[in-house]
Chain A
Amino acid sequence: MFTPTYVAQQIINGVNLGSMYALIAIGLTMVYGLLRLINFAHGDLLMLGAYLGLLLVSATFMPLILTLFIPMLVIGFLGILVERLAYRPLRGAPEVTMLITSLAVSSIIENSMVMTVTAQPRAFNLPAGVNRLHTVAGVSFSTLDALTVGLSVALMAALTLYVRNTRTGIAMRAAAENLRAARLMGIDINRVVMVAFFLGSMLAAAAGWLWAAKYSTVEPFMGFLPGLKAFVAAVIGGIGVIPGAVLGGYLLGFAEIFFVGFLPPAFSGYRDAFVFALLLLILLIRPNGILGASTEERA
């Protein structure tokens, strides 16, 4: 039953899904690393990015690439705005306080969308060429799949270079390592956090656009589950570490696809339970995730 083509097909599917999880997880992990905040509103920024993309794709004749980049920019700034309004006043507050606030922000965004654009799922269609199917040695993938993987890798590489080599990037890593020490070293924490929110939200918007394109639908609640799963991915990989988020994202994508693809159909329904069971297992073996450094969070 598991012919080489079948396996190859599942691997392609896993890479695809994993790329999107990785993109989302990066934003979550950067923010968590700096502020110890599980940003539940991250998935909603993804959703807003998808809606904005839909608006541009369907209402204008602009080149496809712009319909992706404009939402990325706009949502990036929106991320800064959310941080400024909702999270900055809470700087230094207990983690729980920020978590509640992020849940509140999420609820506000989702319900505002239901009230304004209604909850009707809308179709997100790209020009026909993007969905063209290519078959190589019995394994099929669309142009969009290739685009998803290529774009994700490019964005992640750019981000890694940025964090490795620029002053702000280095400051960001220092702050994630030890916020207080970084501040004492003269690093402008507000700026660093702002940049993290900008970059993370940008990637979320890109993921939202790709997600909407792949699954062809947008609706106000579409961001919740990807956001949650991406956080799981970040935890698996080692939260606070960007390569960890990437690794976790791909691992989760593969795990999900393989779970559904290689076990009898009766187990397909257990997909999400499996994802979280995997999370628990990894946490028990490596509480700080695969690439995570040991921190004071363990008891």
Chain B
Amino acid sequence: MRRTWAFLSLLLAVSLVLAGCPAPVMTPAAAPAATEAPAQETAPAGEPIKIGALYGVTGGMSSIDGPGLNGFKLAAKQINEAGGINGRMVEVIAIDGKSDQTATTSATTELIEVHKVVAIGGLNDSTFALAAGPIAQAAGIPFVTAGATLPTLPEQIGDYFFMAPFGDDAQAYAIADYAFNELGARSAYMLVDQAYDFTTALARFFKERWEANGGTIVLEDTYNSGDTDFSAQIARVKALDPQPDVLFISAIPNEAGITTKQFREAGLTQPIISGDGFDTPLIAEVAGELADDVYYSTHASLDNEAEIVQSFVAAYEAEYGRRPENAFAALGYDTMNLIADAIRRAGSTEPAAIRDALAATQGFQGVTGVISYPEGQRKPIKSVTIIRVQDGVYSFVTEIQP
């Protein structure tokens, strides 16, 4: 019994030290920006501006959130190299939300209460944004979601919540219009992942616009993310007579390549259309030359010749030794810069002032397009990029203004 007690007290002591006193582990001075910014010595004195980065770097969201955080940190590094914001360095406090709602909400309060950040950016899925957003809202800390595209998020959460990306409505309308007007399609087949808020919302908006345009939906089928076998669904499409003009697949990146490959292998040759869930190199990598006639709407094209895009791609490659994995890297990058831009214009690090400056954002030039918040809205009007995959090669097709 005595040994048990000794062991228990030791464990308790260790965990209390770890959990209870973050101070000795990470005082601001100990969290060094020193390695990052040679300009630091010449920069005016002053505490660094603390900005929270909240991403699910491990767990289910990690393939999307990992690149997102990389983009976010890259932007902060560049800001510091250029002398900081209004002469003060930026310190990014990045906490792993573990793709878990409890951990994400704890991390949000930790950022606000312990690290005293002035603004938070991150999260690419509305499930987590809806859990974290209200906490920041209640504390009066601006929160910019980097990639959660549920269009109603800002209304649902409140006036401290901003979206860096367009809403699912915009991207679904864009691809519906493109398929209807440019591809001349009139009948569509829909395959929808039931497991995500994002995929079901995208499908809902697509159907709404498609039918409003006068198109028909010939068959609506579903699956759950994690399914890797679509042969049953495919057999059902093949049994359709007449065949649909386009195949709309609402999937997350993990399933984008597999669905494309399996549909093409089964001999279905119609154009495949989707939203930013298809923005992944996996389509070409998995489907190879079968990746033909795939069109999707997304935030940015890394092939876009615009200087801002190309310099981002180059900087990302230089920093991490690989090209940006997906558009979420660019969105993370834009999110950090968007927050920095607001702080610069506010001339203050008061959260309320930053919020007001964010709300007044007009014509912010990001990698993923121009961000402006219309009066009273916190969802940007942004152009939607349409990308085409042909013979395994991605190419920029057009930009659509919703």
- Which residues on A are within 8 Å of B, measured CB to CB? 1, 3, 6, 9-10, 13, 16-17, 111, 114, 118-125, 128, 131, 133, 140, 142, 211, 214-217, 219, 221, 225, 256-257, 260-261, 265-266, 268-269, 271-272
Contacts and interface: CB of A to CB of B under 8 A. Distances in A.
A12 B229 CA distance: 13
Given A140-B266, A271-B227, A265 B285 contact: no
B258 A268 contact: no
A216 B258 contact: yes
Interface in B63-102: 63, 66
Q: Which has the most chain A C-beta neighbours within 10 Å: B227, B267, B325?
A: B227
Nearest to B226: A225
B269 interface: no
A118 B68 CA distance: 13
B236 A123 contact: no
Nearest to A124: B286
B232 A10 contact: yes
B288 A268 contact: no
Interface in B244-259: 253-254, 257-258
B239 interface: yes
B9 interface: no
A217 B256 CA distance: 10
Given A211-B228, A265-B221, A118 B235 contact: no
B222 A268 contact: yes
B222 A265 contact: yes
Interface residues of B, number: 38
Contact of B222 (A114, A128, A266): A266
A261 B226 contact: no
Contacts of A261: 231-232, 235-236
Given A9-B235, A133-B267, A269-B223, A125 B285 contact: yes
Contact of A120 (B228, B239, B325): B325
Q: Which has the most chain B C-beta neighbours within 10 Å: A9, A211, A266?
A: A9
Interface string B257-293: 1100100011100000000000011100111100000
B351 to A, nearest CB: 32
A266 B190 CA distance: 12
Interface string B30-70: 00000000000000000000000000001010110010000
A278 to B, nearest CB: 16
Interface string B191-223: 000100000000000000000000000011111
A268 B265 contact: no
A223 to B, nearest CB: 12
B286 A268 contact: no
Q: Which 9 A-B pairs have CB atoms at the shortest separation, nearest pair first?
A: A123-B285, A260-B232, A119-B62, A261-B232, A13-B231, A216-B286, A269-B194, A215-B228, A265-B221
Judged by DSSP, the binding face of A is helix
B224 interface: yes
Given A133-B267, A217-B258, 13 more contacts: A1-B239, A111-B58, A119-B63, A120-B66, A120-B325, A121-B253, A140-B267, A216-B286, A261-B235, A265-B219, A265-B220, A265-B221, A268-B232
Contact of B63 (A121, A125, A257): A121
Contacts of A272: 224
B325 A257 contact: no
A268 B229 contact: no
Contact of A125 (B66, B254, B286): B286
A3 B223 contact: no
B36 to A, nearest CB: 22
A9 B267 CA distance: 14
Contact of B66 (A13, A118, A214): A118
Nearest to A265: B221
Contact of A118 (B63, B231, B282, B287): B63
A268 B192 CA distance: 10
Nearest to B288: A125
A266 B194 CA distance: 11
A219 B224 CA distance: 17
A125 B221 CA distance: 27
B224 A271 contact: yes
A268 B231 contact: no
B267 A118 contact: no
13 contacts: A6-B235, A9-B235, A10-B235, A13-B229, A13-B231, A118-B62, A121-B282, A216-B261, A260-B233, A261-B235, A261-B236, A265-B220, A268-B232
Nearest to A2: B239
Contacts of A266: 222
Nearest to B253: A121
Given A133-B267, A221-B60, A121 B232 contact: no
Nearest to B227: A271
A257 B63 CA distance: 29
